[in-house]
Amino acid sequence: MKIIDLSKPIQYNKNDPWFMKVKIKHKPHRKAKWLIRVLGLPFKLFPKGFEGWADDTIQKMGVHSTTHIDAPWHYSPTTNGEKSKTIDEIPLDWCYGEGIVIDMKHKADFDPITIADIEAFLSENQLTITPNMIVLIKTGRDQFNGTKNFHEIGTGMSATATEWLIDKGIKVMGIDSWGWDLPLQHLMKKAKETNNSELFWEAHLVGSKKEYCHMEQLVNLDALPYTGFKIAVFPLKIVGASAAPARVVAMME
């Protein structure tokens, strides 16, 4: 079996904006030696060659800071009138299944991905979306992941295309851009210019009516064929959280 990693590294990056900053403190082995000594074990009784153990502390990391999966709770406190699921409440069988890549690398920045775009791709490549697949939207913008303007560029999903996927029986979908929608700052600008309250966060807010999860900040989708693989996307079990980091991997026989 071949396993392909679709998750970005979790590490400090000076180019990340403040809301994406990750800070991890790495503790060397020698720190633990002194802890054990303080707790009462003399140095002479340490195992031969024992240097202590390494340890690490995540000092700062938002649940949306790296490759992650959003829960319905992120989009709205309710979904179709019922309490939305938090990340620990998502059924695990949503998080594993047949994968399909929808190639949208041709889409320009700020040009939303539509139903027609997806249907044209599927028709051209003689592909079909079936219920419970995990759908990956490839935009190619992962090449900018880690740069200062990553969150300000790219294409994104329209509300209608998102709802169309859900109606096809898709519970989990993902993208290699910073976010699922068009870039946040672009949406705010357009909403103010047009005085249109329907523009902002339109794809996310589909989740207030129809239950689904999406992944953001995927990487390495170019390493996948369009079909013929399985996807695993198991989030950390953070009780009550709106999202969680996930090690997203594709598996091919």
**Residues 10-59: tens digit of each pLDDT:** 999 999 999 999 999 999 988 877 777 878 878 888 888 888 889 999 99
Taking alpha carbons only, the member of 178, 245, 166, 157 closest to residue 209 is 166
Global pTM?
A: 0.94
- Of 12, 41, 60, the position where a domain reaches its end is 60
* CB-CB contact of 153 with 109 (8 Å): yes
Q: How many domains does the chain have?
A: 2
On whether residue 157 sits in a domain, the answer given is: yes
Q: Quick one: 38 and 102 in the same domain?
A: no
Q: Are residues 142 and 223 in the same domain?
A: yes
| CATH number, residue 77 | 3.50.30.50
User: Residue 243 — very low, low, confident or very high, per pLDDT cuts 50/70/90?
Assistant: very high
Task: Decide if 32 is inside a domain.
Answer: yes
Helices of type H across the chain = 29-38, 72-75, 115-124, 159-167, 184-194
- 202 Cβ neighbours under 8 A, 6+ residues apart: 158, 159, 181, 187
pLDDT band at 129 (very low <50, low <70, confident <90, very high): very high
Residue 4 lies in a domain: no
pLDDT digits (tens, 9 = 90+) for 147-161: 999 999 999 999 999
What pLDDT sits at residue 122?
A: 98
* 37 and 128 both lie in a single domain: no
**How many helices and strands in the chain, by DSSP H and E?**
5, 13
Q: Identify the CA nearest to 159 among candidates 105, 106, 114.
A: 114
17 in any annotated domain: no
Domain residue limits at 124: 68-252
181 vs 170: CA distance, rounded Å: 17
- If you search the block for the tokens 């209608």, which residue do you land on? 160
Residue 73 confidence (pLDDT) above 90: yes
Kindly tell me if the per-residue pLDDT of 213 is higher than 90.
yes
Residue whose token pair is 């950390």:
236
